[in-house]
């Protein structure tokens, strides 16, 4: 019931924005800006670039409002736009140079002791994972971000990034392989925890 009311409000906002209501689109931006920014930042890894991508995503969405169906969920759509812009950006030569600099600065911390997974170890594992995601090739990172944090299907990711579903599948698999390797020292406790949670 609550979700239906939220959806109705969003549909009304989108309809208003389509009609040229500036405040309605403002509200749409407010609702989705954190999500769009997060998607962009996880791919481009720098605030200023994520800011550019976020603004550009909303501008493109605004331009496309006339042909947008308000019955469709806005969130996945705007995040796909942002991801597409972000991946285009990280493919640029300038961005690759930046990424190299970033990689040179980012060193994985060594895994901690073999003791139980305490909060320090958990924090350390999260840091390692964040670093490892940042070290993924941009193409793999974009696919991983859209799948893991936006929960998009392979088909939706393929459409967003102009790839085949098979390419999405292989990139995601390779990304996960790399993350698994980076987290090798932490997976035992994590599995124990996951197993405990599932019991």
Partner 1 sequence: MTGHPLESLSALLDGELTDAEGRDVEAHLAGCASCARHLRDLTAVDAMARGLPPVAVPDGYLEALPARVRARIRAERSPARRAPWVWPLAAGFAIAVLAPLVLREGRPKESALVESDRVAPAPEVEPSPVIEAEEPAAVPPPSELAGTPQTQTQTQRYATTQSNKPVVAARELKQEAEQARGAGGPEATQGKARQERDDRSAALASSVSEPAPAPAAAAPARAGASAGAGNQAADTAAMRDEAAAETSTFAGAPEVPAPPSLMRKSSRAAVSPAGAEETAFRTVAALPLSSAEAARRARQGWARFLADHPGGARADEARVRQVEAAVAAFQASADPADRAMAEGDASAYLSGRNQPQAARIKAALARLEDKR
Q: Which residues bind partner 1 (CB under 8 A)?
A: 19-23, 25-26, 29-30, 33-34, 37-38, 41-42, 47-48, 51-56, 58-59, 62-63, 85, 88-89, 91-92, 94-95, 101, 125-126, 129-130, 133, 144, 147-149, 153-154, 169-170, 172-173, 176-177, 179-180, 183, 186-187, 190-191, 194
CB of 66 vs partner 1, minimal distance in Å: 14
CB of 1 vs partner 1, minimal distance in Å: 27
Nearer residue to partner 1 within complex by CB, 25 or 77: 25
CB of 7 vs partner 1, minimal distance in Å: 21
CA-to-CA distance for 93 and 70, rounded, in angstroms?
37
What is the full DSSP assignment across 94-148?
HHHHHHHHHHHH--PPPP--SS---HHHHHHHHHHHHHHHHHS-HHHHHHHHHHH
Q: Please, are residues 43 and 86 in contact by the beta-carbon 8 Å criterion?
A: yes
CB of 183 vs partner 1, minimal distance in Å: 6
Nearer residue to partner 1 within complex by CB, 6 or 194: 194
Number of C-beta neighbours around residue 95 at 10 A: 18
Nearer residue to partner 1 within complex by CB, 1 or 97: 97
CA-to-CA distance for 25 and 45, rounded, in angstroms?
27
Rounded to 5 degrees, φ, ψ at 87 are: -70, -35
């Amino acid at each position: 019931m609550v979700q239906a009311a939220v959806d109705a409000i969003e549909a009304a906002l989108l309809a208003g924005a389509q009609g040229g209501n500036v405040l309605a689109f403002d509200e749409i931006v407010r609702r989705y800006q954190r999500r769009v920014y997060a998607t962009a930042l996880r791919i481009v890894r720098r605030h200023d670039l994520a800011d550019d991508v976020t603004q550009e995503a909303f501008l493109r969405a605004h331009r496309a409002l006339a042909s947008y169906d308000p019955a469709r969920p806005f969130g996945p759509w705007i995040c796909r736009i942002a991801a597409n812009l972000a991946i285009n950006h990280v493919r640029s030569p300038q961005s690759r140079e930046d990424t190299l600099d970033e990689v040179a600065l980012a060193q994985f911390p060594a895994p901690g002791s073999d003791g139980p997974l305490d909060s320090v170890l958990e924090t350390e594992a999260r840091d390692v994972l964040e670093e490892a995601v940042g070290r993924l090739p941009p193409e793999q990172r974009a696919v991983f971000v859209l799948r893991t944090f936006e929960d998009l299907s392979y088909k939706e990711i393929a459409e967003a990034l102009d790839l085949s579903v098979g390419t999405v599948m292989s990139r995601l698999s390779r990304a996960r392989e790399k993350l698994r390797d980076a987290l090798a020292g932490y997976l035992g406790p994590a599995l124990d925890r996951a197993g405990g949670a599932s019991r």
